[in-house]
Structure 1
Amino acid sequence: MENHEEAAPRRSRVAGRAVIAAVTGCLVLGGTLMVLPSRPPGPKAPAPPAPGAQARAAVTTGVAAALPDLAALIGERETHLRRHPRDAESWAVLGAAYVEQGRRTAEPAYYPKADNALRTSLRVRAEGNAEALGGLAVLANARRDFRAAKKWGEAALKLDPKRWTTYPPLLDAYTGLGDWKATERTLERLQGLRGGPAVMARAGAVYRDRGRREDAMAQLSDAAAGAEAPAERAAYLERVGQLAWERGDREPALRHFQEAVRIDPDQRAAQAGQGRVLAALGRTSEALSAYRMALAKQPHPQYALELGELYESLGLRQAAQVQYDLLRARVRGAAAGGADEELVLGVFEADHGDPQAAVRRLRAEWRRQPGIAVADALGWALHRAGQDEEALRYAVRATDTVHGGGVRSALHAYHRGMIERNLEKYGPARRHLQEALRINPYFSPLLVRTAREALTALGEPSVEELPVMDAKAETDTETESES
């Protein structure tokens, strides 16, 4: 073993070599730095906002927020309000967050909480509280109470006409009420105040409803490209996918739905969209899985109806019945939370339950909010109940561009064609059934086969079905030939 006298010189030599190496390294580095051009330090990238701040920015501007961020925001505002219960703005933000949470999870129990928070905000600050009034409009739309949404939205607009975030819930309300003039006027005012992805997405929705499909696709694609927050971008991609699906473009629709879910795994509407497209592509096992995943986290009655009909198309009636029972349960739960799901229940009853009950429900719904979707559903329910003359009036309303039915819907065209077939209006029936299959040849796993069979039974048009010129046109033609 070394003694201390021998070890000390050795440590000294090692330390000396380390110092020489360090100095040499510094010289080399210094030479390198002398060769490289000097650059001023660039600005530091801004730190990403906290999850609660991200969700707050989303819910106060009416765009989609990520579910974890929403949970963080709700927790923050609840803690804050326990210490500061007179903070009207925080009550309004909390109410808006509850609405978004209820919408994203299809859990209507959040809606009474939202109502309480927003009304507390109004009690704390009754004057000039456009935030709470706008929040009540958003809540009313989520509950499908479009008359209330119109009332609250117009009250908020009166307080502050330049507050752009008031306009989107008014667009939803006017659309739900079938007031297309007000919808278009409101969109023009919104576009005059604001641009950007959120406004583009709203414009895309209006253009889609008016049959301007290419304009709608352009606006929604630009919105998706310009959105910065993942949840917002995923929401717009889901809408792009839905537009592609509505015109039968299966592969592009699937790509958009898949990308939306990749960006935001909680984008359940896109998962349900995958179910629709995969079923149309014949990838049935994957379609069933996609629907089940969507329903597990967002048990929306519409998804249950679609999955039930897919099971029924496969001859799995017992499995279909499970989904139909879930649909009824979710509608009851929605009613307990003050939400109106009578439309989807009426659609279900018309095809799979009691058509007379469907007519009663949908007549009441039409009196409350006479939008295009309700017109189509009521017309079909009347047809299923054997009242075809009246049914046709509503089917025409749902497909007549003059009255707002500009949306190119394969289902609406199919309904009108089948009603006309029953009324022995064979020419129009053939045209509308052909139109349904032209718009989207895969629009329903149950109904596409029926549409094709009905067209085959109608056969080719006869001479009697050729259009006859009206008396004035005939007179004009005769006058021209005489001259």
Structure 2
Amino acid sequence: MTQRKPTHRRTLLLTAVTTTLGVGLFLAGGLALSPWSAAPSTPASPAAAGGPATGGDPLATDITGLQRHLRGAPQDAVALSTLGLDYVEQAKSTADPSYYPKAEAVLTRSLAIQKKDNFTALGGMAALEAARHRFAQALDWAQRAVAVNPYNSSLYGTLADACTQLGRYSEAAEAVQRMVDLRPGSPSLSRASYVAELRGDIPTARADMQRALQDAGGPADQAFAHYYLGELAFNSGDRATELAQARAGLRVAPSSTSLLQARAKAEAALGNTGAAIADFTRAVQRVPQPEYILQLGELYQSLGRTKEAEQQYEVFRAEQRLFAANGVTLDSDAALFEADHGNPRRALAIAREGIRSRPFLESHDALAWALHINGQDREALAESGRALSQGMRNALFHYHRGLIEKALGDRAAARDDLTEALTINPHFSPLYAPKARAALAALKDPA
């Protein structure tokens, strides 16, 4: 259970705001939270279209209503673009990448019907490409959308997200500030929190996320803020606060899978492995996010339950194949998995490709680790330096750097980085934190 998402997910969030930070849900979420102006003909829900709700799932309900509406009005460009955005979000919330081709199809139709000033579809394409980890394309679409509508805060969110993942951190910060200026609220304050986190300013990151919680417009926004307040705490070694925030979020959003995963992570770090396995298993059964699957597998491995770990790793591999088949570019998560549990040469190939499409801090760390696993430690050290160049406090990055320095024979530097990893978060991973402690103890012995 590594700290792979600095909160990557934000790879997981901002779906509603929901998503690493991780990266796709975070990238799509502002669009969902801050609806753009729609044409009067576009239904807001199936009820508006004369149909029933769909199982209590608001997103599925919206998709059903839009599909019904479009059967009667197939040339409604705004409805098509809104449906495309919903498909992107549904892919994230269900971990089903088959929604991405559907999203591309309806967004392309929308742009063909309304060729001029169609900023909703342009923003939808930006969200789609970001979700598929095609960040250069996402940036191009976002810039085109902002050029059409420079007063829409959500568009600056997609612009900021693309700039962040492309390593253009000052441009990302400027876009986030513009977003805050236009509309201070959960989506913009959450991104401001992430800007601060990336530069290692945890007090500001926490304060901005607390403001996002205070400004939350509903249970989904509250759940998102609780999730990331917990992540900020956990990534600083505070297991109890992570657990408390997960529980608080689940009280307002009992069906949140991301908060269930957060609770599991805190339980594992607190030594309650039975509860952690149960919660991780429920999270994976609800939404087979590769991150959740890998965390469960590594928890099993840390407990010596090798067969069960391997079962999860096989599921992870299958999920990665499914994502790749639907146009998602594999990068840091896949590279780290192959480096730690699979094929070192494949890890390096994925990491090198990932750095080209997503030159973000995580990608530099993944490339550093893949290079180390392949015995290329000088180059690995340089990449590790790039991963830490913004000042981000990340235990996994320092753990990797410490072992790279150890391999190069720099015992003093290795001791410093391993100590830093365990100082930042002594429980950053049930599998690798013990290895960090063991390596540090060996380095303290006389050479």
TM-score range, shorter chain: 0.7 to 0.9
Match for residue 424 of structure 2? 439
Structure showing the higher helix proportion among its residues: 1
Match for residue 11 of structure 2? none
Is the Cα–Cα contact under 8 Å of residues 330 and 354 in structure 2 kept in the other structure? no
Q: Give the aligned CA root-mean-square deviation in angstroms.
A: 1.9
Separation in 1, partners of 2:57, 2:211: 26
C-alpha deviation, 1:342, in angstroms: 3.4
Match for residue 151 of structure 1? 140
Matched, 1:311 2:300: yes
Match for residue 64 of structure 2? 75
Match for residue 7 of structure 2? none
Residues 62 and 369 of structure 1: CA distance in aligned 2, closer, same or farther (over 3 Å): farther
C-alpha deviation, 1:304, in angstroms: 1.2
2:387 alignment partner AA: A
Match for residue 61 of structure 1? 34
2:323 to 330, 334, 344: 334
Q: Which runs of 5+ in 1 are unaligned?
A: 1-55, 463-483
1:445 alignment partner AA: P
Matched, 1:123 2:87: no
> In the TM superposition, what are the counterparts of 1:32-431 in structure 2 within 5 Å?
59=32, 61=34, 68-401=57-390, 406-431=391-416
Is the Cα–Cα contact under 8 Å of residues 224 and 237 in structure 1 kept in the other structure? yes
Post-superposition CA distance 1:95-152 (Å, at most 9, x none): 1111111111111111111111111111110100011000111111111111111010
2:441 to 439, 456, 464: 456
TM-score with structure 2 setting the length: 0.86
C-alpha deviation, 1:340, in angstroms: 2.4
Residues 92 and 191 of structure 1: CA distance in aligned 2, closer, same or farther (over 3 Å): same
Is the Cα–Cα contact under 8 Å of residues 331 and 363 in structure 2 kept in the other structure? no
C-alpha deviation, 1:354, in angstroms: 1.3
Is the Cα–Cα contact under 8 Å of residues 241 and 253 in structure 1 kept in the other structure? yes
Separation in 2, partners of 1:318, 1:232: 38
Q: Which runs of 5+ in 2 are unaligned?
A: 1-28, 37-54
2:138 alignment partner AA: A
C-alpha deviation, 1:60, in angstroms: 6.0
If you compute each CA radius of gyration, which structure gives the higher value, 1 or 2? Answer: 1
1:358 alignment partner AA: A
C-alpha deviation, 1:57, in angstroms: 10
TM-score with structure 1 setting the length: 0.80
2:253 alignment partner AA: D
Runs of 4+ in 1 over 6 A off after TM superposition: none
1:422 alignment partner AA: A
1:97 alignment partner AA: D
Identity of aligned residues (%): 39
Greater length-normalized contact order (CA 8 Å, ≥ 6 residues apart): 2
